[in-house]
Structure 1
Amino acid sequence: MTPRYLMCSLAALSAFATPAYAQEEQGPPERPETVFDGDFLSIGIGAGIGPSYSGSDDYVVFPLPVVQASIGGIDINPRPAGLAVDFVPDAEEGVAFDFGIAGRVRSDRASQIEDPVVKSLGELDRAVEFGPTAGIKFPQLLNPYDSLTVSVDALWDVAGAHDGMTVSPRVTYFTPLSRGAAASLSVGASFIDDDFADYYYSVSPTQSVASGLPAFGARGGLESIGTNLLLAFDLNGDVTDGGLSLVAIAGYSRLMGDAKRTPLTSERGSADQFLAGLGIGYTF
């Protein structure tokens, strides 16, 4: 889901919310112009609460900066701790395709380790991950303004931390709720390779002695499955003119495979992972 499609769908919905007799006399009204029809920039900041590390049952607060933009037909969309750039302009009608580059910084167990036993294993390096992103969007499924998007990111560590890769497919359903509100529900999964799994979920014999946890050698595969719900509210009730808006997000994921079986999760944490966040943004 791109910001342009989200906001223009809301604008179109409000345009059609006119008396039936007016539509009969004048025909369907044209969609009004919006701040999202040309180049735009949305910036925001918020706070989230989530696990101290992947598999933790201790929760910490962290900042949530957000940047979204469209410049010359190139879209910039947020990712967890990163961004994605889509080089394919969206079609005005029908199926649309996305293709570009995504990147993120992964700070898992690099800071904010609340569990003293896990902390005794030592802090990890931050990973910087880059790779391609692609997707396809199907509009107008249940109403004239909703969409279903199927997408995938494939990212490799380029900073020499875990030296592995992740593949993250997801399906996202978007629908406007009113002229000033919208909802997005996504379901996704994460697949990891052996290098990634070993770095984040293994416990070496030396670490076992230092921490008291059993030694564990993690292998790659399905890391997690989960879902997120995002709600957006324009503060003046009109998304067509930009300005201030509130965004709330709630999420749940379940660790699978060795990400679940590692003693970092099974003995010191939980396979059930929750996320919540609230932010404010400005579009111009």
Structure 2
Amino acid sequence: MIALRFHLLAAALCAAITAIPAQAQEAEDRSSLTIGVGAAYVPSYDGSDDYIAVPVAAARGKVNDFAFWTRGTSLYVDAIPNTDPNGWDIELGPAVNVNLTRTRRIRDPQVRALGKLDTAIEVGGFVGLGKTGVITSDYDNLSVRVSWTKDAGGAHKSYVITPAIEYMTPLSTTTFVGVGASAEYVGKGYGRYYYDVDAAGSLASGLPVYTGAGDDSGFKKVSMNLIAGHSLSGDLRKGWTIFALGGYQKMLGDYKRAPIVDIAGSSNQWIAAIGIGYTF
């Protein structure tokens, strides 16, 4: 992934890119690869009311029915092969995420005065269940997934749990649409690191002292997105596909009340993205 500032908001964009080959796979295609690039307009951090344009890249593929894919700055590898593309797909495997929150491109002067934070390398795993051929056709796909990762370095020293649900359906051999929703549950160390303001930070930024986000673990945000794509080659299973995405997220609880959100930012945030992908 391109190491620029975006995180779970851009995960929805990557879902759009990587959904392209999943809509209609031939049973004999035991290996495949889709790569995509695009541009997104996103908040400069979760809870910001300042927006930045960022380039993004994503990939999805499988080798002998073992799948891998990216979501934002995360990489997932499914250790259970899916040998029946028209049946149930049980997912289980490792996950790693590079958390770039507040490491660069902070537009708000008060939040910038709090200083840049360290990049967190979050390592863990995920479990999920998917089904192809659910509602509209033999090729639509419904999947649910939960990931758990923990900071393996010295940044927030806490964990992130992300439940998500996605539904994708082709409208024809050339067009697909989809909807997705996710949430983010974080440990109190995460809230303390990214959303609390200590006395020194208050003096530097003018924001009030705040310790609410670091008191307890809890849900930080919920997100929703809508996706649409169209094949330029006449077949979603190969060649070029263009896509567009729109998304919304809502900050919750003590994270919504944090000064970097309530005073310097906003609890309501939006994302827009366009891009192109290629399936080999």
Task: Indicate the residue corresponding to 1:22 in structure 2.
Answer: none
Alignment of 1:21-170 (within 5 A): 33=26, 37-90=29-82, 91-145=84-138, 146-170=140-164
Query: How far apart, in 2, do the equivalents of 1:276 and 1:2 lie?
Result: 17
Give the TM-score taking structure 2 as reference length: 0.87
Alignment of 1:156-235 (within 5 A): 156-217=150-211, 218-219=213-214, 220-235=217-232
Task: Indicate the residue corresponding to 1:258 in structure 2.
Answer: 254
Alignment RMSD (CA, Å): 1.7
Give the TM-score taking structure 1 as reference length: 0.86
Tell me how far 1:141 sits from its aligned partner: 2.9
The answer (yes or no) to whether the contact 2:123–2:149 under 8 Å persists in 1 is yes
Structure 2 residues not aligned, in runs of 5+: 1-17
Query: How far apart, in 2, do the equivalents of 1:158 and 1:185 lie?
Result: 32
The answer (yes or no) to whether the contact 2:261–2:267 under 8 Å persists in 1 is yes
- Inter-CA distance 97–77: structure 2 relative to 1 (3 Å threshold): same
Q: Identity over aligned residues, as a percent?
A: 34
- Inter-CA distance 239–128: structure 2 relative to 1 (3 Å threshold): same
1:281 paired with 2:239, answer no
The answer (yes or no) to whether the contact 1:73–1:87 under 8 Å persists in 2 is no
Q: Which amino acid aligns with 1:180?
A: T
Query: How far apart, in 2, do the equivalents of 1:206 and 1:178 lie?
Result: 58
Task: Indicate the residue corresponding to 1:30 in structure 2.
Answer: none
- Inter-CA distance 69–147: structure 2 relative to 1 (3 Å threshold): closer
1:239 paired with 2:236, answer yes
Query: How far apart, in 2, do the equivalents of 1:3 and 1:243 lie?
Result: 10
Query: How far apart, in 2, do the equivalents of 1:74 and 1:101 lie?
Result: 13
Query: How far apart, in 2, do the equivalents of 1:237 and 1:39 lie?
Result: 21
SS in structure 2 of the partner of residue 64 of structure 1: strand
Structure 1 residues not aligned, in runs of 5+: 9-32
SS in structure 1 of the partner of residue 23 of structure 2: helix
Tell me how far 1:3 sits from its aligned partner: 5.3
Tell me how far 1:7 sits from its aligned partner: 2.9
Could you list the per-position Cα deviations for residues 246-268 of structure 1 after superposition, in whole angstroms to 9, with x for gaps in the alignment? 12222111000111000000001
Structure of larger gyration radius: 1
The answer (yes or no) to whether the contact 2:92–2:128 under 8 Å persists in 1 is yes
Could you list the per-position Cα deviations for residues 50-70 of structure 1 after superposition, in whole angstroms to 9, with x for gaps in the alignment? 001111000001111111111
Tell me how far 1:144 sits from its aligned partner: 2.9
Tell me how far 1:4 sits from its aligned partner: 4.7
Q: Which amino acid aligns with 1:176?
A: P
